[in-house]
Amino acid sequence: ASSADIDLIAMDDNADVPAMHGWRQEIFGDPALALKRGRIAITMKGRRAVIVETAAAP
């Protein structure tokens, strides 16, 4: 996703950008929304970034 697409997703859960359609939504869009909503977080494990589920599940 481009930085402009990410900005649109940040402002609107239903942004009409390629990252929110088809296989791109599965790979990027859904996790981006989960991050935005606080359901997942990105943390470091050693020298690697990892995605973890959070306790915040509104």
Res 57: pLDDT: 58
Res 20: pLDDT: 97
User: How many DSSP H helices and E strands does the chain contain?
Assistant: 3, 2
DSSP alpha helices (H): ranges in the chain? 3-11, 22-24, 30-36
pLDDT in tens, 4-46: 999 999 999 999 999 999 999 999 999 999 999 999 999 999 9
pLDDT band at 58 (very low <50, low <70, confident <90, very high): low
Say yes or no to pLDDT of 55 above 90. Answer: no
Res 30: pLDDT: 97
Count the alpha carbons within 13 Å of 24 in the hemisphere toward its beta carbon: 10
